[in-house]
Amino acid sequence: MEKEFGLHHHPGMEFPPARSDSGQAFTSRTPSFYSVLIYQDIATGIRAKDVANRIRQEIGDERTFELDAWNAALLDDPVFNKIASQQAEAAEIVILSLRNGNAFTPRLKNWFGAWTSRKLGVFPALVALFAEPRCSSTIFAKSYLETAAARAGMEFLCQSLDHSDDATSSAKTELCWIL
């Protein structure tokens, strides 16, 4: 390809990357789709990873899918909390997977509030997954997340898996898009 453009590569001579007017280097790398996943336990982590895999399939090969996953308990540590906040702030989609709203602790609420307040104008999405949708704490947590996401200019998708009304125990899915 270098020959086509009349460039000659000399041993030991490296060409600097081409740059845009803003000074950013052009790369031939496929642009990435960055996601962060916060989960409560193994079961909620597996469920969130399944959702992330579906998102990855939807994106296809046009973009590289990158995912960082955090157990919510790690957010108690200030160092991990800061790293996870920075990652969530940079993410195009954040997936929060909990059993019910009781797991949406004040610590997790503070973590969520810290990075969403800096996310204005980026227009990312928040996906909230709850295994127990009818729990009163889940209803409160969904309402809080919906309001906070709207304030931050984020799309909000809530998926609840409910086995309580289904005799065959197959999952019913509730999807709520807030634009």
Specify the pLDDT at position 78.
Answer: 92
- Assigned token pair, 141: 């947590």
Number of domains the chain is built from: 1
Q: Quick check: is 61 in a domain?
A: yes
Q: Quick check: is 112 in a domain?
A: yes
Specify the pLDDT at position 136.
Answer: 87
Q: Quick check: is 161 in a domain?
A: yes
- Sign of the C-alpha dihedral, residues 84, 86, 87, 93? positive
> Rounded to the nearest 10 degrees, what angle do helices 136-151 and 106-116 cross at?
20
pTM value?
0.71
Q: Quick check: is 119 in a domain?
A: yes
Q: What is the CATH number of the domain that holds 69?
A: 3.40.50.2300
Q: Quick check: is 171 in a domain?
A: yes
21 close to 15: Cβ distance less than 8 angstroms: no
| Residues linked to residue 6 through DSSP beta bridges, in sequence order | none
Residue 130 main-chain phi, psi, to 5 deg: -130, 130
Q: Quick check: is 144 in a domain?
A: yes
Specify the pLDDT at position 116.
Answer: 85
Whole domain around residue 173: which residue ranges? 30-178
Strand-pair category, 155-162 with 172-178: antiparallel
Residue 3 main-chain phi, psi, to 5 deg: -65, -35
Q: What number of other Cβ atoms are within 10 A of residue 132's Cβ?
A: 18
Tens digit of each residue's pLDDT, the chain (179 residues): 333 333 333 334 343 444 445 555 444 455 788 899 999 999 999 999 999 999 889 888 888 889 999 999 999 999 999 999 999 988 999 999 999 988 888 889 989 888 887 775 556 899 999 988 888 888 889 988 998 888 888 889 887 655 444 433 333 333 333 22
Q: Quick check: is 9 in a domain?
A: no
Specify the pLDDT at position 131.
Answer: 87
- When computed from its CA atoms, the radius of gyration of the chain, rounded to whole angstroms, is 20
Specify the pLDDT at position 2.
Answer: 36
H-assigned helices in the chain: 42-59, 78-90, 106-116, 136-151
Q: Distance between alpha carbon 178 and the CA centroid of its chain, in Å? A: 16
Q: Quick check: is 110 in a domain?
A: yes
pLDDT digits (tens, 9 = 90+) for 8-18: 333 343 434 44
